[in-house]
């Protein structure tokens, strides 16, 4: 997994609540058997018209935000389907960090598996970042995972929480299957106990 | 020491390892796999030379992509991309030696209908699948939730998941449901009250007299949509109905093992002194037949209501409601019963079981689809379809003018050719009314099977109680 340590980049504002994974990556793009190449279809139905032309009013189509690396969003971001194609598309577009007042559970988990940092902040702090993001390309935000801070273009510093294990995995770029496999003896002993206690499983 | 919730009990029984920071390794009893969210996971195993850790606990079935029309066993009749995914599942299932129900097998169907039907889903288990509606299996008192593809790979390789424990939420539905009100109305009404993020961070246990009174099919409908309320999982404590449903199923325990299992299953309930982090109580008598008006499952109102005014909401929901109404082509103040529909979809992991088809057929018996309305019934599995045909339900649906399809997810997510056209409005028994969900520009109103059947007959959203 790609490491996440510190990022300074353009933040795109998407002040919508309940952005679901069908919006992030519509179903027709789930037919791939690869993880890459979905960035062009990120937010497809919001981003392109029926003829496949870009809708100029959509934030990621605006010149200022075409290379955004941070997304500032509304509450309950990523609700709906478990499709990991959603974080794959976000990552493939180039966004590595999403800030919102809340995330849906499965999407939140999926982000960490893909080197994306989802940050939960109270609405008033998200509002500050949203305003900063609305300034466009000259307003670059810095997200520092090590120190757990976001710094706006005006130098306002906002602290955030992150699960220590997930932080460690992101900073080191760890593959958690490898980590779990180191616990093979514990898994084996659990299985032999279960074979006695719940043989029908 | 305080008592434990049902969730606490299942969690504790599956804990393999717990780190100091609270990160846990949880054992997974059943892993269900479908064609859309698994190819990259199997590819990951191959690239790293890993095997499936417990092939006997892993069950694969194609459902999301498969056509629901005749001739689908010939993959040449599928679109190129769908064919590749279905063939990849076929190859992966055979290469890794996992249980598998291809479309040529009558047991094929929507993964969340097949699991319980075959007795793979049992009380007290942990069940995961790369699909958010895995919550369905919670109806058996199993801890069941959706996972992403990276986690699918993790479970394939280790039969465990890295997890942090969720909080406990109790949703109690007291008393009795009025006539015409179903499990779907319960689960939608709960989301209407708590919001789509109301359950975030929680596992919900549904309880109360109205939940106890539901059949296993109804309980699956309730738990299925726990995810739409944001919860990691929904649970219902098992009881005699659960045991009766499970008994004799192909993969349920038999003989002495059945007795041992039953003894353990009877301990699966929340203790009277268990601690809850959040409690929601709704009177069954207060629940009405409901429909959704917007593009979020929380946009729920009784059918007697009117399309709301975005200005009546607060915060970010004002813009969201405006956007929803624009997408749905609706004006504030319009009575919900005046909304005309173009299509009716009966099926999905929410409402594609035999009881759902019986309920819809009961309304459609001797009636016809309204002029200009198209209807589609997609049974949840090949066995549900066969059962319905044995009962003559297919004849009722066909006589009413519905298409009688083969099993799959179908129009619920529109990955196969079953889709809405832009602007087409559908009364659907499925679970998501998101923008574009059933087809680009398609408009979805969620409701129960009887409400969908009623809309089919009248051609507009209808109060089922008017047809009873």
Domain ranges of chain A: 6-174
Q: What tens digit of pLDDT does each residue of B270-301 get?
A: 999 999 999 999 999 999 999 999 999 999 99
Q: Do A31 and B81 touch (CB under 8 A)?
A: yes
Q: What is the DSSP string of A62-114?
A: SGGGTT--EEEE-SSBTBS---THHHHHHHHHT--EEEES-B-HHHHHHHHTT
Cα of first residue to Cα of last residue in chain B, in angstroms, is 51
Partners of B346 in the β-ladder: B377
How far does the CA of residue A123 sit from the closest CA of chain B (Å)? 10
| Backbone dihedral angles phi then psi of residue A31, each to the nearest 5 degrees | -85, 5
Distance CA B145, CA B224 (A): 10
At residue B227 the predicted structure's pLDDT band, cuts being 50, 70 and 90, is: very high
Q: Do A75 and B316 touch (CB under 8 A)?
A: yes
Read off the tokens for B96: 């890794």
pLDDT for the residue numbered A139? 81
What's phi and psi for B248, nearest 5 deg? 85, -5
Q: Is the pLDDT reported for residue B1 higher than 80?
A: no
Contact B432 A191 (CB under 8 A): no
Element of type H or E holding B143: strand B143-146
pTM above 0.95, yes or no: yes
Q: Which helix (H) or strand (E) holds B186?
A: helix B183-194
Gap from B200 CA to chain A (nearest CA, Å): 6
Mind telling me how many Å the CA of A84 is from chain B's nearest CA? 5
Residue A84 contacts B, CB cutoff 8 Å: yes
CA distance B222 to A177: 33
Domain ranges of chain B: 23-163, 167-286, 290-466
- Judged against a pLDDT cut of 80, whether residue B119 lies above it is answered with yes
Q: Could you say which of B25, B85, B148 has the minimum Cβ distance to residue A183?
A: B25
Complete DSSP assignment for A30-66: TT-SSSSS-GGGTTHHHHB-TTSPBPTTSGGGSGGGT
Q: What top-level class would CATH report for the domain B23-163?
A: alpha beta
Q: What is the pLDDT of residues B298-317, one digit of tens each?
A: 999 999 999 999 999 999 99
Phi/psi of residue B202, each to 5°?
Answer: -120, 160
| CA-based nearest residue to A106, from A82, A90, A77, A88 | A82
Give yes or no for residue A1 having a pLDDT over 90: no
Rounded Cα distance between B385 and B433, Å, is 25
In three-state secondary structure terms, A125 is helix
Residues A101, A118: Cα–Cα separation, whole Å: 10
pLDDT tens digit string along A149-175? Answer: 999 999 999 999 999 999 999 999 998
DSSP letter assigned to residue B166: P
pLDDT in tens, A8-37: 999 999 999 999 999 999 999 999 999 999
Report the CATH fold assignment for B290-466: Aconitase; domain 3 (3.30.499)
Torsion of CA A175, A181, A182, A184, to 10 degrees: 170
Name the residue among A102, A186, A199 with its Cβ closest to that of B16: A186
In angstroms, the Cα distances linking B33 to B37, B62, B220, B461 are 8, 8, 19, 36
Residue closest to A10 by CA, chosen among A110, A126, A139: A139
pLDDT in the model for residue B75: 87
Tell whether A127 is within 8 A of chain B (Cβ). Answer: no
Q: Measured between beta carbons, which residues in chain A are less than 8 angstroms from residue B422?
A: 50
pLDDT value at residue B22: 85
Q: Which residues from chain A sit within 8 angstroms of residue B160, using beta carbons?
A: 180, 183, 187
Nearest Cα to Cα of residue B176 among B204, B220, B210, B224: B210
Rounded to 5 degrees, φ, ψ at A137 are -65, -25
**Distance between CA atoms of residues B347 and B380, nearest Å:** 6
Pick the CATH number of A6-174 from 3.20.19.10, 3.40.50.720, 1.10.1270.20, 3.30.160.110: 3.20.19.10
pLDDT at residue A147 above 90?
A: yes
Asked whether this chain's domains B23-163 and B290-466 adopt the same fold, the reply is yes
CB proximity list for A155: less than 8 A, separation 6 or greater: none
Q: What is the CATH number of domain B167-286?
A: 3.40.1060.10
* Residue A90: count of CB within 10 angstroms of its CB: 27
Q: What is the mean pLDDT of residues A108-129?
A: 97
């Amino acid at each position: 997994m790609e490491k996440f340590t510190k990022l300074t980049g353009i933040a795109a504002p998407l002040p919508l609540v309940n952005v679901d994974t069908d919006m992030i990556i519509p179903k027709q793009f789930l037919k791939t058997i690869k993880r890459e190449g979905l960035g062009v279809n990120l937010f497809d139905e919001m981003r392109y018209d029926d003829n496949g032309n870009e809708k100029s009013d959509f934030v990621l189509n605006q010149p200022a935000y075409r290379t955004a690396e941070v997304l500032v969003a509304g509450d309950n971001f990523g609700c709906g389907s478990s499709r990991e194609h959603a974080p794959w598309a976000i990552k493939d577009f180039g966004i590595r960090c999403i800030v919102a007042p809340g995330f849906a559970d499965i999407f939140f988990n999926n982000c960490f598996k893909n080197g994306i940092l989802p940050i939960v902040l109270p609405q008033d702090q998200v509002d500050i970042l949203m305003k900063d993001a609305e300034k466009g390309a000259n307003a670059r935000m810095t997200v520092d995972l090590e120190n757990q801070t976001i710094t706006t273009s005006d130098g306002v510093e906002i602290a955030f929480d992150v699960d220590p294990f997930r932080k460690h995995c992101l900073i080191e770029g760890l593959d958690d299957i490898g980590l779990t496999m180191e616990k093979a003896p514990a898994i084996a002993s659990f299985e032999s106990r279960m074979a006695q206690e719940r043989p029908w499983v | 020491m305080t008592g434990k919730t049902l969730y606490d009990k299942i969690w504790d029984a599956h804990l393999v390892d717990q780190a100091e920071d609270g990160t846990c390794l949880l054992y997974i009893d059943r892993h269900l796999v479908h064609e859309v969210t698994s190819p990259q996971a199997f590819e990951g195993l191959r690239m790293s030379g890993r095997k499936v850790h417990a092939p006997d606990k892993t069950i694969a079935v194609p459902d999301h992509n498969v056509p629901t029309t005749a001739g689908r066993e010939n993959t040449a009749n599928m679109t190129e991309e769908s064919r590749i995914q279905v063939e990849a599942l076929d190859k992966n299932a055979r290469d890794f030696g996992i249980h598998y129900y291809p479309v040529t097998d009558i047991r094929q169907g929507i993964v969340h209908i097949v699991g319980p039907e075959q007795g793979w889903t049992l009380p007290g288990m942990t069940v995961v699948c790369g699909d958010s509606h895995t919550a369905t299996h919670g109806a058996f008192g199993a801890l069941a939730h959706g996972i992403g593809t990276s986690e699918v790979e993790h479970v394939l390789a280790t039969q465990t998941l890295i997890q942090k424990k969720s909080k406990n939420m109790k949703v109690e539905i007291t008393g009795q449901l009025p006539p015409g009100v179903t499990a779907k109305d319960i689960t939608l009404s709960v989301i209407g009250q708590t919001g789509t993020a109301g359950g975030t961070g929680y596992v919900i246990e549904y309880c109360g007299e109205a939940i106890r009174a539901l059949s296993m099919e109804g309980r699956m409908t309730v738990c299925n949509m726990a995810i739409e309320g944001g919860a990691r999982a929904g649970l219902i404590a098992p009881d005699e109905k659960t045991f009766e449903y499970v008994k004799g199923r192909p993969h349920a325990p038999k003989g002495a093992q059945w007795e041992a299992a039953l003894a353990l299953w009877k301990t699966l309930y929340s203790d009277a002194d268990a601690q809850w982090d959040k409690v929601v109580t709704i009177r069954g008598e207060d629940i009405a037949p409901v429909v959704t008006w917007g593009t979020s499952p929380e946009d729920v109102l009784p059918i007697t209501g009117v399309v709301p005014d975005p200005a009546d909401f607060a915060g970010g929901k004002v813009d969201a409601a405006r956007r929803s109404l624009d997408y749905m082509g609706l004006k504030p103040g319009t009575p919900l019963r005046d909304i005309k529909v173009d299509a009716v979809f009966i099926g999905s992991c929410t409402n594609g079981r035999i009881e759902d088809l019986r309920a819809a057929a009961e309304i459609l018996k001797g009636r016809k689809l309204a002029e200009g309305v198209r209807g589609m019934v997609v049974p949840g599995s090949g066995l549900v379809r066969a059962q319905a045909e044995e009962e003559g339900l297919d004849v009722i649906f066909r006589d009413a003018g519905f298409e009688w399809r083969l099993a799959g997810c179908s129009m619920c997510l529109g990955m196969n050719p079953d889709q809405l056209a832009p602007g087409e409005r559908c009364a659907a028994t499925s679970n998501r009314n998101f923008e574009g969900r059933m087809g680009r520009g398609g408009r979805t109103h969620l409701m129960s099977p009887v409400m969908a059947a009623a809309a089919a007959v009248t051609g507009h959203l209808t109060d089922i109680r008017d047809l009873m």
